[in-house]
Structure 1
């Protein structure tokens, strides 16, 4: 097989190793959450969970389906990384990109809610609880509700941004390995065509004109015997 330079990430690690680790992590996380979600679905389908609302049930179905899909895709990526199977790695990279985009969209929506409607409601609930307590500490508890929520909201935003950067970098690693496999396939095809062209031997033989008699070999002067041919 012709040599193709291995692409790296984090300065020294090969992208194949990165896809291998990503797929194992996705298989573990997706498998865990999908199993938990399917267990909960089985419980409420058999009447064991009566206090779930319709939105909670819908959320369980969505989590179970998406996590199962993520686990299956990660398994395909793991096989592709181990066996250098380009189509499987390409599928894994594409799905990983789609999941990253959906995760970013969902995270942005959650952050907007934290800074507007949902966040204000949570602060108001906290302050209402403070009003029911001791009157001497109401102002302090109101301040704690407001400032505590702001700090928690900021931490959540930072965590989300870091996680998005990790996901985006994971997509870059996966597509980097796809590009490396493409280069290896192209180099292999080029080397195969080169070997085939070297093994082909072209044999040429002059063709006699149609209808033209060929000379008798012993009539030539070099093959003739006698005084004319110079041989005795």
Structure 2
């Protein structure tokens, strides 16, 4: 039985849409990361510094060279997300259970990380403590100047976004459960076909029947009766 979300939309369509969006965004992010890494290795950062001032160029180049490892890690992560999202996209088309399962596990993992980030943002919004970061021996601190109304609005926005992400995770999980149920049904039907007029899907329509036991000479009534 096909499952739905938003009352009438099949979960398969939801997985198709979400996986495509995830694949597109992750591919763009990974492509940008690998492009910047290529410019760093080839000493061609000047190609993307046209609209920067001299001070901005210096800071940008120093930061990119210093944190080149972060660019590599980020590019690898987004490449992995794009790959798994592609599996989910293809899986929704061909109804492949393993591909959809891999995509479902990835979305759950991303949701957990996003929940931690949302919790930190809410703590930062409602906390009155200053956040300080030390860079090259220089400490830089920022204070929270949000009003109560702004904090409430920010909190509502974070909660709504969190609920949407949870709903997406649930939709993808529903489709995986649907594929599992379809697989179990096909397996049970092949083993135990029931009902008049039904037949085994993998058997021919003209299945061989056992001979009638009284059709041979030893059991039939003949002239010796």
TM-score w.r.t. length of structure 1 = 0.67
Aligned to 1:16: 12
Hey, what's the Cα distance between the residues in 1 that align with 2:149 and 2:65?
Answer: 32
Larger Rg: 1
Aligned to 2:33: 37
Relative distance call for 1:160 and 1:58 in structure 2 (3 A) is farther
Aligned to 2:50: none
Relative distance call for 1:73 and 1:190 in structure 2 (3 A) is same
Aligned to 1:75: 86
Hey, what's the Cα distance between the residues in 2 that align with 1:32 and 1:159?
Answer: 26
Q: What is the aligned counterpart of 1:174 among 152, 172, 175?
A: 172
- SS in structure 2 of the partner of residue 146 of structure 1: coil
Hey, what's the Cα distance between the residues in 2 that align with 1:102 and 1:183?
Answer: 29
Query: How many pairs were matched up?
Result: 188
Aligned to 1:118: 131
Aligned to 1:146: 145
Per-residue CA deviation, residues 196-215 of structure 1 (Å, 9 max, x unaligned), is 49957445759xxxxxxx98
Hey, what's the Cα distance between the residues in 1 that align with 2:145 and 2:131?
Answer: 13
Per-residue CA deviation, residues 171-200 of structure 1 (Å, 9 max, x unaligned), is 111110111111212222233332349957
> Which consecutive residues of structure 2, in runs of 5 or more, have no partner in the other structure?
46-59, 133-139, 194-198
Aligned to 2:57: none
Hey, what's the Cα distance between the residues in 2 that align with 1:56 and 1:153?
Answer: 33
Q: What is the aligned counterpart of 2:106 among 72, 87, 95?
A: 95
- SS in structure 1 of the partner of residue 80 of structure 2: helix
The structure where helix makes up a greater share of residues is 1
> Which consecutive residues of structure 1, in runs of 5 or more, have no partner in the other structure?
124-144, 207-213
State the 1:82 CA deviation.
0.5
Relative distance call for 1:15 and 1:200 in structure 2 (3 A) is farther
Aligned to 1:139: none
Hey, what's the Cα distance between the residues in 2 that align with 1:57 and 1:154?
Answer: 38
User: Are 1:106 and 2:117 counterparts?
Assistant: yes
State the 1:157 CA deviation.
3.8
- SS in structure 2 of the partner of residue 50 of structure 1: helix
Hey, what's the Cα distance between the residues in 1 that align with 2:116 and 2:86?
Answer: 25
Aligned to 1:223: 223
- SS in structure 2 of the partner of residue 121 of structure 1: strand
